[in-house]
Amino acid sequence: MTLSGRHGSSELRSVWRALDALCAASAPELGHQLALQVIFLRSWPAPDGAGLDRSFGPAEPALNRAWALLEFGRLSDPVAHQAVRSRRLHGEADRALAALIAQVARLEQPAGLFDACLDRYSSRFGAGGDYYTPRPLARLMAGLAAPQPGESVLDPVCGSGRLLVAADEWARGKEHGPGVLAVHGRDIRPEARRAAAMNLTLGGLHYELGGEAVDSLHAGPTGLSPDVILANPPLNTNDWGYQELIRDPRWSLGPPPKGNANFAWLQHVVHELSAQGRAVVLLPDSATRGLNTAESYIRRRLVERDLLAGVVALPSRLFPHTRSGATLWLLARDKSASPRWGRKSRVGEVLLADARRLGTPADRAGGAPRADAAIDRIWQIFANWRGTSSAQEDGTGQVDWCRSVNHDDIARRGYDLSPGSYVQTAPASTEDALSEAEHRHPKDALYEHFEHALRMSERLREVLGTEPAEWVQE
């Protein structure tokens, strides 16, 4: 039996029923962690004697023995590894684990089951902010960064490692095998690091996840100076260590606001990049135009120092867990023509793409092919603009959803970086417009009402010749 891409097949439904029973008998998070281990052991060619033998005895000790024989010390730090060994399932929970092992064992070719389990975890816990980066979003971010064979890639909040897997898949294309990049990941959660190690191992990548689970903001720079950084950080985190980190040298664009960590993560990424490095970071839509004094100042410095290459407003509901609206920020240390950037110098320019229309509700109902088409349109326009594709024209003049602007254009709008302010496109349908309104965070709606006030405030500062005080935090 195989999955054959049929995630609704009877075989897969049996696996999910067994997983649901395990979660009910133990705990949902523990159930999914055990499921990922079982699937990994079923998918990865095991050394002699290291297979998962469940012919007799309790299921959990058998799983732990198989896990230990693989000698994957790098899958988790020592504390997390000891926690795995000390788990004890009893009675109904152990019988549920045995049933799950049996169902997974029945699949002749379990390829894709690990990814499907990650998706299922996200669908169950994503509403609370606990989710792994969706595959379509990972593919889009990799396409926008366009890593090349031989480059190094870092994800400072790597979760399940999907962004790193997507980066490697992009770099190797059809000409190379897996492992063409040096990939590095960091995450604060031991369970996420273990999932990342399994995912990266299944993908055949050469990876490094650090010696232990760390909070990248508190741990500081890795010293790796990666060529590419891909990051999907926790959005709008308010308790991020402002008092301890306020004088950190990473804040070269200005101190981040006390109220959320969005611009702390952005500057952490900028600080880590190599001299010709590129990055793609997911941030909430409100970060493009928020009225917070510190955020406004950082946006201005980001543009003035020519570190911003582009901003993409994502299609509403095209990707899971973006109910409040999300944007991708493309950063680059050097936008002059070069093998790593592309043939076309874009010094002093920023490409703003309002891609919210590209994934209408009707398109999304059509499934993955429609979503893939929208993703391809987004990264392709950036590839043309940079000159990394074979197209001679950048294509921005032939579509109505993106525009290349210079720094003066942005300054005149008070350093508002929301693509919709520069690209005048109506929603694809009334339904789509209503959908965006329904999922918009109340603060975002308030920001929209005060955009005019922001522009007037910036113009007044220019007239008075003043800068926002770096020590003023809101």
Query: What is the rounded radius of gyration, in angstroms, for the C-alpha atoms of the chain?
Result: 23
φ, ψ of residue 99 in degrees (nearest 5): -65, -40
Sign of CA dihedral 236, 242, 245, 249: positive
Give the pLDDT score at 429. 43
Residue 227, CB-side half-sphere exposure with 13 Å CA sphere:
19
**Is pLDDT of 160 > 50?**
yes
Enter the DSSP assignment of 337: S
Burial of residue 353 (CB within 10 Å: 0-12, 13-18, 19+) is buried
Alpha carbon separation from 222 to 77, 166, 264, 282, 285 (Å, rounded)? 17, 22, 16, 20, 28
The closest of 459, 426, 336, 423 to 386, measured between CA atoms, is: 336
Burial of residue 102 (CB within 10 Å: 0-12, 13-18, 19+) is middle
- Structural element, H or E, at residue 405: strand 402-406
CA distance 242 to 407: 30
**Is pLDDT of 362 > 50?**
no
Give the SS3 label for residue 35: helix
Give the pLDDT score at 25. 94
Give the SS3 label for residue 429: coil
∠ Cα 404 149 377 (to 5°): 35
Q: Are 264 and 217 in contact (CB under 8 A)?
A: yes
Domain 135-464 has CATH 3.40.50.150: yes
Regarding predicted confidence, which is higher, 292 or 228? 228
∠ Cα 328 281 359 (to 5°): 30
- pLDDT category of residue 361 using cuts at 50, 70 and 90: very low
Q: Are 254 and 294 in contact (CB under 8 A)?
A: yes
Q: For 74-127, how does the pLDDT look when each residue is reduced to its tens digit (9 = 90+)?
A: 455 554 555 555 567 888 999 999 999 999 998 887 889 999 999 998 888 765
Regarding predicted confidence, which is higher, 210 or 459? 210
- What is the percentage of the chain residues whose pLDDT exceeds 70? 73
Question: Hunting for tokens 């693509």 — which residue is that?
Answer: 419
Give the pLDDT score at 391. 64
Question: Hunting for tokens 């990264």 — which residue is that?
Answer: 379
Give the pLDDT score at 393. 66
CA distance 422 to 35: 47
Q: For 323-332, how does the pLDDT look when each residue is reduced to its tens digit (9 = 90+)?
A: 668 999 999 9
CA distance 162 to 119: 11
CA distance 196 to 162: 8
Q: For 96-110, how does the pLDDT look when each residue is reduced to its tens digit (9 = 90+)?
A: 999 999 999 988 878
CA distance 371 to 66: 39
Domain boundaries, the chain: 10-128, 135-464
Give the pLDDT score at 90. 80
Q: Are 330 and 301 in contact (CB under 8 A)?
A: no
CA distance 231 to 56: 44
The two tokens of residue 178 are: 């897996």
Q: Are 289 and 421 in contact (CB under 8 A)?
A: yes
The closest of 44, 187, 48 to 114, measured between CA atoms, is: 44
CA distance 117 to 135: 12
Mean pLDDT across 57-73: 76
CA distance 231 to 118: 18
